[in-house]
Structure 1
Amino acid sequence: MKKTAMILMLAIFLVSFNTPAYAETINEADTELCDTLKYALINSLREPVDQAIADIYKDDEDAPEGLTWDSYDTEILKIKQLYGVGGAYEITLKVYPYYRAHISYGEDVIVVNADGEVIDYEHLKTYPSVDFD
């Protein structure tokens, strides 16, 4: 009887001090969580997008030097899941390359996979270059 009472008291003691742990996502960014995830995804694809922009404008003689792009000005058009949950993904982005103080030079659609490889790209529009001389 003493053994059973001791086990019961030990069980009550252990259960009473069991503090549940609640997990909560902590967002330490200046944007809502959804926007933060969007920008994180876009920024993780910076190298392949840079490569695609260089390829798109390499033969454009009028293209200004130093074309770049920003994640906040990039749209995610589509995320295609290829092989089911946890499989490969293709991300389609609409990118607006610019030069100098955010002077737009074009619009491009770039398709990359989640591994950071350029799958396809399409140049949509070129804006006239502004000369400041």
Structure 2
Amino acid sequence: MKRMIVVFVVMFSLVSHYTFAYSKTINEADTELCDTLQYALINSLRNPIDKAINEIYKEDDDAPELLSWASYQTEIVKIKQSNGVGGIYEITLKVMPYYGAHNTYGEDIIVVNSAGKLIDYEHLKTYPRIDYN
């Protein structure tokens, strides 16, 4: 009986002194955490987005030679789970390529997966090119 009481007291003391550890994400960026995660995701997909832009504008004779794009001008339109939680995701992005001092040249929808593979792309609109010479 004494042994049972001792075991109970020891177990109670161990359980009553258990402290929970809560962790907080440290955000060392100039934006809110949600925006930071969005930009990090978009930037991690830079290679397939560059590939899609090159494919879209390779036949366009009026396209500026050095088209670029910015993650802060890119919109995530949709994220679709392909293989369940933790699997591959399809990310649909609206990208607005620019030239020079951020002169927008077009609007495009680009679909990539979270593994960095280009799935599909669609050109939506071309803006008139402005030369400042």
In structure 1, the residue matched to 2:38 is 38
How far the C-alpha of 1:22 sits from its partner, in A, is 2.6
Across the aligned residues of Structure 1 and Structure 2, the Cα RMSD in angstroms comes to 2.0
Structure 2, gaps ≥5 residues long: 1-6
User: Aligned with 2:56: secondary structure?
Assistant: helix
* Residues matched between the structures, number: 130
Asked if 1:28 corresponds to 2:28, the answer is yes
Distance (whole Å) between structure 2 residues aligned to residue 77 and residue 19 of structure 1: 42
- Of the structure 1 ranges 17-26 and 123-132, higher mean CA displacement relative to structure 2 is found in 17-26
Instruction: Tell me: CA distance 1:112–1:17, structure 2 relative to 1, closer, same or farther (3 Å).
Output: same
In structure 2, the residue matched to 1:3 is none
In structure 2, the residue matched to 1:91 is 91
In structure 2, the residue matched to 1:58 is 58
TM-score by length of 1: 0.86
Distance (whole Å) between structure 2 residues aligned to residue 50 and residue 13 of structure 1: 60
TM-score by length of 2: 0.86
How far the C-alpha of 1:83 sits from its partner, in A, is 1.5
How far the C-alpha of 1:54 sits from its partner, in A, is 0.4
Distance (whole Å) between structure 1 residues aligned to residue 39 and residue 111 of structure 2: 16
Distance (whole Å) between structure 2 residues aligned to residue 63 and residue 45 of structure 1: 23
- The sequence identity of aligned pairs, in percent, is 68
How far the C-alpha of 1:42 sits from its partner, in A, is 0.4
Write the letter of the residue equivalent to 2:26. I
